[in-house]
Every structure is written in structure tokens, then in C-alpha cells.
Amino acid sequence: YALEQLEAAFYTQIIATPYSGMSSEEGKIMEDLRRHEVAHRDFLKAAIGSAVIPDLEVDFSTVDFTDRASVLATAKAVEDLGVSAYNGAGRLLQDVNLLLIAGKIVSVEARHAAAIRDLINPNSIDFAGNDVVNAQGLDVVRTPSQVLAIASIYVKTPINAANLPKT
């Protein structure tokens, strides 16, 4: 849920302050990504219920939202992190209904990652680069603690990962 908050805030910022030279097509892609991330965030908030963490205060000061390369590099990093987060969390979910939804969300996150990679390097095979796929052709997997550690560069709100499942 924390990562979905971060992603929704990131794409909301992109739409609010489009980078220099953003094409109409790129704007539509960013708006689609924003809508998806907001839907993911809102779904997870409802699914978690009373155990949900508070809204996060984000810090995107390391991102130059006027610069296409900065925005797309950050989008690539955030989307790749999202895929690895869901891949790592899948084995921790005991409710088969939530596991099914998580499988659908990770599929969407992977499409986001591919779309961003295509914006960076059009018509390439970067969507399955060795930075996101291992030697067996499988996507990277991260634990919740690893995901939070990586995402913390963009989050001001302290998050205690001590109680998160590890296996």
C-alpha cells in the first residue's frame, strides 16, 4: 500500500506539472498510469481496512519534473520496484482472493514498466532488460523490507518495517 501511495502521488505530480516537451501521447500515457495507480491505492486501502497505514508524506525533491529524462528514469525505477514488490509479496498472501488481485495488479505494473521503457527507448527490447529479469527469465523479487528501503528516498513519513512478514 505504501508503494501504491507513492506511485499515485508521483503520477499526480507529473500530470500537475508536465515536463518540458511532453507530447500529447505521453500525457495520455501518464494520465492512464496515474488513474491505474490511484485505483490500486484505493483498492488496497479498502482491502487492508482498519490496519491501513496513514497517508504518506512524499518527497520528490530528487526528481526534476521539468526534465523528461529525470521523470522517465524515476518512473522506470518506481515501476520496476512495483513489479518486484508484488512478486515478493505474492508468497506472503494467504487469502486466495487477494492473491488473485495482486496477480492482476502486478500484471498492470509490468505493463507500466514496459510502457515507460518504450518511452525511454522506443521499439527496443528494454521491456525485458537484464536489470529486471534474471538469467532464468523471471522478474526480480523483493521482500517488503527491501522495497521500503528502496522507496524511502521518496518518503518523508517514517515507516517501521519490523513487523512486516519476511517469509
pLDDT, tens digit, 9 for 90 and up, residues 77-117: 999 999 999 999 988 888 899 899 999 999 999 999 999 99
What is the predicted pLDDT for the residue at 125?
Answer: 65
With a cut of 50, list the residues of the chain below it in pLDDT: none
For the chain, give every domain's residue range.
Answer: 2-154
Indicate the length of the chain as a whole number.
167
What is the predicted pLDDT for the residue at 154?
Answer: 96
What is the predicted pLDDT for the residue at 43?
Answer: 93
Torsion 125-130-131-137 (CA) sign: positive
Helix (H) or strand (E) holding 113: helix 96-120
What is the predicted pLDDT for the residue at 131?
Answer: 61
What is the predicted pLDDT for the residue at 64?
Answer: 98
Task: Assign domain 2-154 to a CATH class.
Answer: mainly alpha
